[in-house]
A = this chain, B = another copy of it.
Amino acid sequence: APAAKIINGKLVAEQIREEVRVEVARMKDAIGVVPGLAVILVGSRRDSQTYVRNKKNACEAVGVKSYEVNLPEDCSEDEVIKHIETFNSDPSVHGILVQLPLPSHMNDENILNAVSIEKDVDGFHPLNIGRLAMQGRDPFFVPCTPKGCMELLHRYGVEIKGKRAVVIGRSNIVGMPAALLLQKANATVSIVHSKTKNPEEITRQADIVIAAVGVANLVRGSWIKPGAAIIDVGINTVDDPARPRGYRLVGDVCYEEASKVAGAITPVPGGVGPMTIAMLLSNTLESAKRIHKFE
């Protein structure tokens, strides 16, 4: 069997960053506006700190201004919301992002709902999700990771309209919005989750699979229809004594098996991973353009 085409997310993400950089410069030249992204980090989780630092660096590289607020683990919900409201009314901020997870004493819903819908570059507000689900409405922002999945399909010429698509996983931040996007693009979508009885059989019918589960190598070669396009969102660690850190990253799809059956597939790492931040930059630019009516 011919090997699957590798969908190079790293490369596409670089292209998108470069496109954003050019547009940011053009906007600055034309109207003197620089897109701004505010990131709120509560507590001192190592992984969250890393994510926030990566986002700041990515902003810097394309000319987006970043603003950061660090709040202590034990601060109050009201304090977080006060900072959000300051950013809501700050005209130099076009996107606001609250790094998840929040400390357990806080109510995610209250906090995320405080972000102005015009600056919700993560696209997690229920009003935004509702518009994503509805025909004839458009969301203000498409959530970054699912938007990245769609962008990969588009840039690799994968036809979506009229195709069967299976999304494995239905989380608010990846699986569910990915299913809604595929459906808006006129795929026939099925959603597989932990209560699904025959995931293998259903997945094998799909021309397009998006896997966002968090279970290493769940999707085996036998789950895949020959020639299907596979987008693997999963980022899982498995022990590997041969690596200096003692582990390596794998996706939700067994790459070794799947790449022999699929028509196209994203690797992990280097597939969807790098797309998320690229889409965050793209959403922030889009927001600044919309707010300043710049085309």
Contact = CB atoms under 8 A, between A and B. Distances in A.
Contacts of A129: 129-130, 133-134
Contacts of A197: 162, 188
A134 to B, nearest CB: 5
A190 interface: yes
- Between A125, A132, A191, the greatest number of chain B beta carbons within 10 A of the residue's beta carbon is seen for A191
Contact of A190 (B125, B128, B134, B190): B190
Interface string A187-219: 011111101110000100000000000000000
A171 interface: yes
Contact of A133 (B180, B188, B195, B202): B180
Contacts of A135: 170-172, 176
Nearest to A189: B191
Contacts of A170: 135, 183
A137 interface: yes
A202 B162 CA distance: 13
A183 B136 CA distance: 22
A188 B190 CA distance: 7
A290 interface: no
Secondary structure class of chain A's binding surface, majority of residues: mixed
A53 interface: no
A131 B132 CA distance: 12
A186 B190 contact: no
A136 B186 contact: no
Interface string A133-163: 1111100000000000000000000000110
B126 A161 contact: no
A34 to B, nearest CB: 31
Contact of A130 (B128, B161, B192): B128
A162 B128 contact: no
Nearest to A160: B195
Q: Which 5 A-B pairs have the closest CB atoms?
A: A130-B130, A126-B130, A129-B130, A190-B190, A186-B195
Interface of A: 109, 125-137, 161-162, 164, 170-172, 176, 180, 183, 186, 188-193, 195-197, 202
Given A126-B127, A130-B132, A136-B172, 8 more contacts: A126-B134, A128-B130, A129-B134, A135-B170, A135-B171, A162-B195, A170-B183, A188-B193
